[in-house]
Amino acid sequence: MDITRNPGINLNLMSPTELQEGIARLSRGAYFKEATLEMTLSILTESAAQMSGIERVSIWALCEGQSELRSLDLYELSNRRHLSGESIYARDYPNYFSALRHEDCIVADDAALHPATREFASGYLGLHGITAMLDTPIHIRGNLEGVLCLEQVGTHLSWTAMHRLFAHAVANLVTLALVEYEADEARHQARSANERLRALLDPLSDSSVDRIRQFS
């Protein structure tokens, strides 16, 4: 899928069928066996930004005992660039972290005034020019593991039901990517463990054969 040529669409005008077709295209572009996790996440953020016309789309991982959110990939639509590595901390934004744990979705039409996001007003929002936030928690096996963020820059935006459906669908794709990554890691560790065990047992088997030959 050539995501750089995918024009932005107006989610306010999308029908449920068009939304489903858009998510299907995104899914087909995001999953191929040779992709690394980093590549898959970058395709998801860029595709979601291109499809929705939202300026900033990012995926964050919860770490350090749920006290830190770390950006895995951020795509800026106008600059056509990917960034990563930024962190925010629960000690600085306790209401936001609490909302992620207890809300299905944070829908902040005015991010500077919303109870869950107004803590960002003096720093994060102004630094990036963000006016509206739509943040969807990412859960794996019932545990909060991260968040998908859609952030409007400049003019204010009232998030619609279609925006929320779109964000939820993209968050599900992120969850699938992370689960597949975990499964690949588990398979790799299992293969490595088997190889180490075989390396330990093979010399023992040779010694056993030698002892049997001595007594035959």
Provide the domain count of the chain. Answer: 1
Taking only the tens place, the pLDDT of each residue in 124-153 is 999 999 999 999 999 998 999 999 999 999
Question: CA dist 181 to 12, 37, 41, 68, 210, Å?
Answer: 33, 6, 11, 21, 44
Taking only the tens place, the pLDDT of each residue in 41-97 is 998 999 899 888 899 999 999 998 889 999 999 999 999 999 999 999 999 999 999
Beta bridge partners of 61: 70, 146
Model pTM above 0.85? no
The CATH number given to whatever domain includes residue 126 is 3.30.450.40
Taking only the tens place, the pLDDT of each residue in 5-37 is 444 556 665 677 777 777 777 776 555 556 788
Give the residue numbers spanning the domain of 189: 3-215
Rounded Cα distance between 10 and 122, Å, is: 30
The number of C-alpha atoms within 13 Å of 70 and in the hemisphere containing its C-beta is 10
Which of the four pLDDT bands, split at 50, 70 and 90, describes residue 206?
A: low
Going along the chain, which residue ranges are E strands?
Answer: 56-63, 68-76, 81-83, 87-89, 106-108, 130-140, 143-153
Q: Which residue has the higher pLDDT, 48 or 2?
A: 48
